[in-house]
Structure 1
């Protein structure tokens, strides 16, 4: 049934053989289009057509055909075309998409995905045994993909990912070592890895940043570390050298003077004379892989022996960050030292001052010097065996 001439100036509504009502209208480009769905009642069809006309008049119209692409296809395209993603991040996003998004809502057209559907998807993830943190990561990825569909590709008007708290992870409280424990750990691992423990902790470095350091990046007299590169472990490729995690990751970090004797000893004993020589390697001179490092150091029994069972290597960076925060530095300078970057704080990181970073290192040095044996322990035998038990809190 077509509307009688004069009764409707915009679009048409007709009843199909199935008994459902179909809407057709002319878009701003002059092309006749149908509504993306049919309607059980004529009143529903009329309401939809009225809204479409209002959108055209307000220049807020979106071509419904754009949103017919499936979520899985659009998300895969989003990952492939997203600028600046590191290979490890691409691999992570593809894994999340294939594991937690595509099996549930992947075949839904982008324009058909609604907030109730997103809510049911997240609830099903949790029911299927996905952790809260895993569901949060999947939710953030889907939200980011659909935000591009809203703001850049103009496929949909609103992002259906509107579930309060769904993006939040429940961070496990990670252990923080005391200063004596840090030195005890450096003493407990094989000697060629002792300086790695100290530089990572007191320099607030990530694993990939620490094992990518070259001789040219270290000044063991001034106590300066320049972070310029980072290793990432990629499936099928092994250790891949590239830029740090973010632009803020390229930074210069000052070390407390108390750890420099151990660093100088390491450079003299285990590192080649050429400026490009990597500072931390295996006995054969190859790049250290994290799994291999755990075996070479008998990591779990070793950290248990110093009173920190379950400690992860990344917790050394967390410990160093905590020491720096206790030194009373500002949030701006602390974040710059850590090499963090995000849209809200990028400008802050770019303008962090070297003087403030030196002050952090000096303040941490005061903490270290509170404990006997922190300096000059290279004389003989166990370099840090004289460190007294204690806490810096």
Structure 2
């Protein structure tokens, strides 16, 4: 059996942690990496003939200037070969390059301030302003926001039960990324009026009406490429860095929630994460918070020095 033959069957049979078939977008991503980066070199080799030396030679020539894609490709290959070990087709996984499946993002994540969230919402098209607020203050993912319908939201809460992904130019609606992604998120009171206004001005009366359709009054979800275009254009008119993206609003909201005193369990539930370790990826120290901590340390030091002077 060649690696290509085995990997093709792996894609067909692979299941998520919840036992569901791979999401359309996930399968498409794996297929793209395999076809463009793995198959040209390793596809026609016998599965049992793959060795650490062969894998190392392939890895050294693969996407040297694109570390994130390189790490993702290696991680997919390693996962497929781990399954081959479990299936008894290999005695040991030949992917043994330490750290090859991890990468540091080329663009550091930016945590926006509350004022910058307001600024960004003011510069996107009016019918998308609520999407920005929900991304930041309810910590929703892109696909969750673009699949929201009137029946999912009130000024008090947002019920997340679905998300939309795209493949071959078509939307595919399915459950959130994990079972924990099905959740009800309480709406912060300061954006309640924005929800009421959006429902009145930009959403049809039916419970199934999309909040953010591709066209006003339409029944088709907005393509994420189009959504990103509007967001990027708006970012350029704000004080945010040009690299700012929608997912960083989620980072922003979870970081602010943590600074407000939320526990890991509370953040995990609100974000729809299946494990606490995933939540930790979204916690970022901000300059303002770091300055507040530094000032607090100085106050402690000053108080201790004063106490020493007075002998107390």
SS of equivalent residue, structure 1 residue 219:
coil
- Structure 2 residue aligned with 1:271: 203
- Structure 2 residue aligned with 1:205: 140
**In 1: Cα distance, 2:67 partner to 2:160 partner:** 33
**In 2: Cα distance, 1:345 partner to 1:70 partner:** 36
**In 2: Cα distance, 1:156 partner to 1:148 partner:** 9
User: Any idea what the Cα deviations from partners look like across 1:177-230, whole Å, max 9, x if unmatched?
Assistant: 11011111112222211111111211111111001111111121xx21110111
**In 2: Cα distance, 1:335 partner to 1:101 partner:** 35
- Structure 1 residue aligned with 2:93: 159
Contact 2:204–2:217 (Cα < 8 Å) also in 1 = no
Q: Kindly state the Cα deviation for residue 322 of structure 1 after the two structures are TM-superposed.
A: 1.7
What TM-score do the two structures reach when normalised by structure 2?
Answer: 0.82
Contact 1:179–1:392 (Cα < 8 Å) also in 2 = no
Shift of the 198–111 alpha-carbon distance from structure 1 to 2, 3 Å rule, reads same
Q: What are the residue-to-residue correspondences of 1:373-392 with 2, within 5 Å?
A: none
- Deviating 4+ runs (over 3 angstroms): 390-393
2:47 counterpart of 1:110: yes
| RMSD (CA atoms) | 2.2
- Structure 1 residue aligned with 2:294: none
Shift of the 191–78 alpha-carbon distance from structure 1 to 2, 3 Å rule, reads same
SS of equivalent residue, structure 1 residue 325:
helix
Q: What are the residue-to-residue correspondences of 1:359-378 with 2, within 5 Å?
A: none
Contact 2:203–2:217 (Cα < 8 Å) also in 1 = no
Contact 2:149–2:207 (Cα < 8 Å) also in 1 = yes
Deviates more, 1:261-270 or 1:309-318: 309-318
SS of equivalent residue, structure 1 residue 233:
strand
Residue from 106, 112, 122 that aligns with 1:187 = 122
Greater share of helix: 2
Unaligned runs of 5+ in 2: 16-20, 280-286, 291-312
Contact 1:304–1:310 (Cα < 8 Å) also in 2 = no
Contact 1:209–1:231 (Cα < 8 Å) also in 2 = yes
SS of equivalent residue, structure 1 residue 305:
coil
SS of equivalent residue, structure 2 residue 62:
helix
Contact 2:120–2:234 (Cα < 8 Å) also in 1 = yes
Contact 1:179–1:391 (Cα < 8 Å) also in 2 = no
**In 2: Cα distance, 1:120 partner to 1:331 partner:** 42
Unaligned runs of 5+ in 1: 1-68, 349-389
2:10 counterpart of 1:72: no
Q: Kindly state the Cα deviation for residue 332 of structure 1 after the two structures are TM-superposed.
A: 2.6
Which protein is bigger by CA-based radius of gyration?
1
Q: What are the residue-to-residue correspondences of 1:89-100 with 2, within 5 Å?
A: 89-100=26-37
SS of equivalent residue, structure 1 residue 226:
strand
- Structure 1 residue aligned with 2:168: 235
Shift of the 392–269 alpha-carbon distance from structure 1 to 2, 3 Å rule, reads farther
Aligned residues: 274
